[in-house]
Amino acid sequence: MTVYLVGAGPGAADLLTVRAARLLGDADVVVRDRLVDESVMGYVNPRAEVIDVGKRPGDSASQSSINELLVDLGARHDVVVRLKGGDPFVFGRGGEELAALHDAGIACDVVPGLSSALAGPLAAGIPVTHRGVSRGVTIVSARGARGERTNFRVLANAELTLVILMGVEHRGDIARQLLEGGLEPATPVAVVEQAWTNQQRTTRSTLAELGHLDVRPPAIIVVGGVASLDLRSMGILDVAVL
């Protein structure tokens, strides 16, 4: 009896790892998040029970109740897959679930997934680092576990790429803080919505205009010089999202 914390990757089913696909096919129960693309569910054992615990505004499963559910399922089934979008340990609260299972004496294992923080920008042809443009990348969530806002002023660094998850709702405040922190209004910005799905859309602009962009979650915000790059238009990358 084992609970597997499995990363579903950023969207398209063929970005699953081989191990993730195998476990989905062997699963007795799959506990899925909202951001798992429907194409991924095609790999699930047709006899498996699928439980949706996706968090939505005003209608969400608490993390403690998810932990309790995993412990209960892990005690009753041979193969339980906890399926999370991206990677379970990049703002996926995988560590909390792993700790809860360990404390309950439930065997667990981890299957990493491609994080949308890195793969999402690339779907739009954006490398998060690029020689002569960016020498590093900072990945950050726009809000903390208890809803507190991230201090973006201290993250303003023109030499680094800033990749922001869960930031669309707060994009105006994010832009204001980064400008106050010293970034130029003309700093390139890109917002990649629903990366690696057939609903993918990329909006490119500047930091000065970020707060006014017509964009919707789920989306990734990229701030920095690389946001103006598109390796596809340069003829050196052919990205297929399906």
- Show Cβ contacts of residue 160 under 8 Å, excluding neighbours closer than 6 positions: 134, 135, 136, 137, 138, 224
Q: With beta carbons less than 8 A apart as the criterion, state whether 53 and 106 touch.
A: no
| DSSP H helices in 104-231 | 116-123, 171-180
Which among 145, 132, 85, 72 is positioned nearest to 112, based on CA atoms? 85
- Show Cβ contacts of residue 39 under 8 Å, excluding neighbours closer than 6 positions: 11, 12, 13, 197
CA-CA distance, 227 to 126, in Å (whole number)? 6
The string of DSSP letters for 63-81 reads HHHHHHHHHHHHTT-SEEE
The string of DSSP letters for 148-163 reads PBP--GGG--TTSEEE
Q: Which two tokens stand for residue 117?
A: 């923080």
CA-CA distance, 97 to 11, in Å (whole number)? 22
Active site residues: 33, 55, 166
Residue 123 DSSP SS3: helix
For the chain, what is the radius of gyration of the CA atoms?
A: 19
